[in-house]
Chain A
Amino acid sequence: MTAADQWFADVLPMPAKIRNLPELADLIPDGALLAVPPEYSFVPMALVHQLIRRRARRLRLLCVPLGGLAVDLLIGAGCVAEIEAAAVSLGENGPAPQFTRAALTGRVKIVDSTCPAIHTALQASEKGVPFMPLGGIIGSDIEAHRSDWRIVDDPLQQGNGPIILIPAIQPEFAIFHSPLADKNGNVWVGRRRELVTMAHAAKRTLVTAERICDEDLLDNEQTAAGTLPALYVSGLAEVKNGAKPLGLTGCYERDSAAITVYAHQASTDAGFADYLAPILAASPPASP
């Protein structure tokens, strides 16, 4: 798809980009490569639930760089064919049960990476270059199993020895949930700038937000500094509590008790099915 095609399909007048949650989830086709933020960074849980409800299949997940509850749920619900991550866990609530099981059974293809390699791969896409170099890693078994990574001898020939080149990764979609967006499609990300890199690297970015305000976030130097411009946002939906049970900076804390319950239930197939049932049965949150 050319730049022009993409813009044609995508850069509609801004108000048309504001959608409801099911419309947003429907934009993501089965098989899509999806960049997902880490547990500490604006995880779009409501959108993940909606993807499960619409029975998304064969998704390929890129964790930026770590996976957590969202990824574990999608795996358990059968939405995932492949996952690349530096690690997947429920953080302080322990291992990610469905991920762990999938890894041991081979039901999901797992591409193991390391945090800076994932950041670097996205930065390469952000800059439109086919690869970027990264220090370290040589001699790790991660590298030994990554046939897509390439060790080359110092291309500057300055005696710096071998270095790894990480190929660019261009996700088809980046998704996240923000505390605040505006009606023009600009989205607050604050200091969570991995979301900026994700959006720059991805072909399309879909965002849910606690609130969509009338004031343009770019009209004020202070909010502009922490804002991803609408230029990179293909779809936006207002969803209250869209990160729960995970936390959202300044809005609500992580519900550790709820995640402990999940960790327990998800450790068996029956328990996981019980956890999933109300998500599948729920109506998507109505748009305001």
Chain B
Amino acid sequence: MAAPQVDLSVELAGLSLVNPVLVASGTFGYGTEYGELVDVGRLGGICTKAVTLQPRAGNPPPRICETPAGMLNAIGLQNPGVEVFIGEKMPALREFGVPIIVNVAGESVADYVSLAERLSDCADIAALELNLSCPNVKRGGMQFGIDGELTERVVAAVREATELPLIAKLSPNVTDIASIGEAARDGGADALSLINTLLAMSIDIDRRQPMLANVTGALSGPAIRPVAVRMVWEVAQAVDLPIIGMGGITSAADALQFIMAGATAVAVGTANFVEPGISGRIIDDLEDFCQQAGVACAADLIGAAHGSSDVEGLQ
């Protein structure tokens, strides 16, 4: 274990996180699923599985399949709805004593507003993460996140409806991620989460059918990390909001790529499935890295790779 002198804490959208390592929405359930295996209380925070106004059954199976250094999923936002979430999931989540960031998804601006209002009444929610980017549902979801105007509109409407810190979660399936980040900022977001998954697909050549019943799915895991780092880098340059960086993080070294690209915090997603204790390991290794690099505060590394002068080329 590392000596205590490294300060891993970061400030994000008004929250004080003891360390910058969160778990990503949809990859850690409601915390309890991993309770036996993971010291959840050490986490910087938990982003819950997306909650919708009404319960959702989700998509038919098969819902997942493996791809090179990645996986596809098309869960389709299966969840018990906001009332059950508040009544049955929040009590256990509270017990962990870490910031709970509730990921919300709607089919309309009104849905997001209602969710925000309802969750504002619930104690111990640290922030809302607006999922504007789920590629696996027919209505809502990604439709918001790929359109700057809609993004601004939904964020602004939710901004009116709640005092909770708002984190807009962006879709990578866009031509210009920075402009979507700007739109979220203009709508009043306190922070940005990126990236959600890449829209993708695999085909079962023997059955001559898509691998997933939903046809397309959401690509996550190490495969997408370079795309995610690039997007964090671009958004950090364009938008003056704190960023939660994610996409294929499997180690402290990966997390540091995001931090140096400009993320204030990071979220571990798919890697939780493979190595449940990975977030704890990343926290330890971040501390070690800082110690060995003589960095007193991890926050000093935020954006550290920016501003290094471009190498000049030949004509």
The answer on A and B forming one complex is no
